[in-house]
Structure 1
């Protein structure tokens, strides 16, 4: 069968690539065409647009790049129609993908599957109506989403979380600290990891303050910035030039986290990855007009948390320093807690263990692929179950 997939950022590229591999196990004739990234391309098929040419975040960048976004959307619609796939699979990226879903459903009549639901439970609940109209099946990777959508009479399917799969299947899983430091030309001091986001704007907003916050730890710790996929090394050089003790490593995020004593993490999938690798963390997210942003979040959003760890556990497990709480001093104070207060650190690790139980075991990509393949071939063997 022919599958058309759309992923608009690095995490979507990762999860879509794993889904494609699982589909190929079930469907030996699987043919893929997609908007995505390098990981999807490595599986096989035709990369039509790279996500780095599509990932515009925030009101101003979206407005400034509106023409490019509209051109991408128009091209995508024409490309799907010409390809005539058996299934269209959308991965998060709601602003773009919901428009594609409407076109595909109403104009082409092709089945639409949404893998990794957009976070409409946080805000924009009105989008649920669009999902019900234009998406045939929603596959969820967060267990609490099933109950949320059920309130709107929209049955979705929890398939497990693909980040669990990625952690289980990662390279260098058995690597020791000694091997890691030798391979990277490091010494034996413990590591503090800095994950400042996957987009240029996120990195520019968060990394300078993160570096300033850890500057006092440079003598006793090695400071490693995990370089994001698709970001040029020269972009990082502008920020770490005045912090010679910090190093930037690319394509080693899981290796870095696995060996880190603590991490400063910009909110997103990285907070979940950090927790699954059992690394105490501080969630850091700078916003423009921080006091106004916090007021808007507090009064208009439908969730008390921004990090996946806290959302899954439904309580504060990791400290969220965003908007008006995002300061260098606050980051330093929280980092000191997780590094030096044993009871505080252990409590976070204990809560991580509970989070892993809630998520369930590995196999999300295989379950999602089986669901899509079964539906596309007229079968219906998939059922929701406790993972």
Structure 2
């Protein structure tokens, strides 16, 4: 998290035209106040600052935090307000903005799984309100420059318009962008609903066509049948499928739900690991050492059906090599789940996992 925040602070400090920030959680803690102070400073210097926060993800943040930003000239929009009388769209409490995007001058985008919070999690109802996390959080963001930044900008402005934010003052939101580096980058954004499961279609397609390896980390793993079938079929045709999942979670129920799927995956040849030294919050994958993705999308029903999400897909051997190095490092901090050990675990955990899985579509 600290490396990502350092990159975000640097991008904000060097911005000259505008800063667009979209985050599921923005908290009024030390980290959130550092962002607020810097954004207010940039606004005062004439840089246009626009912020979208999720009204449920940030429900514990006092209104005074956002009012201070507004008083300083920053335009702020709460996504899908909890109060149905305040929402411009058809109201639905489960439709959330789970994206984490920072765009500066239309030239730099930083995206991934990190919220604006010293202690962040998927749900404010489960989040502990402490200044220091009880355990280190392991997450991944990436910085992107070049033509792909325009696609993140479009997603931000589309959500701003749909939430009926104030008219954004004229800025150079789409500057001419030259290609940076040799990687091919595709921006994949999804909206709530069965017909907009673009990030999941992306995952299923990549897994289905994998030939050699699938190395994935995910923080909330409650896969649907399509994902399960794609993973087990890949293992069945000899693909090296390794998945690192949380061994520690901010939600015990989600941990029980994810473990419900272990037996089927292990029997098919999928290798499973639980990260044991940190609370894993990353959502990444690298396939065949050439296809990689980093973003906000969890392997659960909330991400699939109810959330606005965004991932970057990168086609680059060099980038995939760096992703593989990170994956190997995470493996070193993880415990492999063995099938024989798993099949012989006590009855109580089995019953608990089965029972929690009944309600998995609401997690």
Output the TM-score relative to the length of structure 2: 0.34
Q: Which structure carries more relative contact order (alpha carbon 8 Å, separation 6+)?
A: 2
Output the TM-score relative to the length of structure 1: 0.32
Which structure features the higher share of strand residues?
Answer: 2
Which structure features the higher share of helix residues?
Answer: 1
